[in-house]
């Protein structure tokens, strides 16, 4: 059984995609480490999000799974970079920067289904 991704989270990603298309492009192009991103996601994000690509739900019903985020239409490295630089009203005031941001972005994008 799957649960629809919270619309507020998807709306935030849409806004981030729009913002990210024009801001932070140079920083967002850095590659990042999938392995380090998974490690950080388990340490920082797993309290609310299901961070691995497996059946199940996030522990917080308002938090989409990382796989759902990765497979949201329009989600790019740039959009994720913008999202991680912005606090969200349904998320802890957590802004992830630098290598940590690039690593989490690389990990999330690694969860994208093949096209």
Residue-wise pLDDT for 28-51, tens only, equals 446 899 999 999 999 999 999 999
Return d(Cα 36, Cα 94) in angstroms, integer.
18
pLDDT of 103 above 90: yes
As a whole number of Å, the end-to-end CA separation of the chain is 23
Q: What's the predicted TM-score (pTM) here?
A: 0.72
Give the chain's mean pLDDT.
80
Q: Residue 13 has what pLDDT?
A: 54
Higher pLDDT: 47 or 21? It is 47
Return d(Cα 102, Cα 82) in angstroms, integer.
11
Could you tell me the residue ranges of all domains in the chain?
10-110
Q: 45 CB contacts (<8 Å, ≥6 apart)?
A: 51, 66, 104
> Considering only CA atoms, which of 86, 106, 87, 89 is closest in space to residue 28?
106
Q: Residue 39 has what pLDDT?
A: 97
Is domain 10-110 given the CATH code 1.10.540.10 in the classification?
Answer: no
Residue-wise pLDDT for 49-66, tens only, equals 999 999 999 999 989 999
């Amino acid at each position: 059984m799957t649960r629809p991704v919270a619309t507020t989270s998807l709306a935030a990603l849409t806004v981030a995609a729009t913002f990210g298309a024009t801001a932070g492009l140079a920083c967002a192009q850095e590659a990042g480490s999938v392995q380090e991103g998974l490690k950080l996601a388990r340490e920082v994000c797993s309290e609310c999000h299901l961070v691995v690509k497996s059946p199940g739900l996030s522990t917080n019903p308002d938090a989409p799974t990382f796989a759902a985020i990765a497979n949201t239409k329009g989600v790019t490295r740039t959009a994720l970079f913008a999202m991680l630089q912005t606090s969200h009203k349904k998320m802890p005031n957590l802004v992830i920067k630098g290598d940590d941001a690039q690593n989490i972005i690389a990990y999330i994008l690694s969860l994208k289904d093949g096209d």
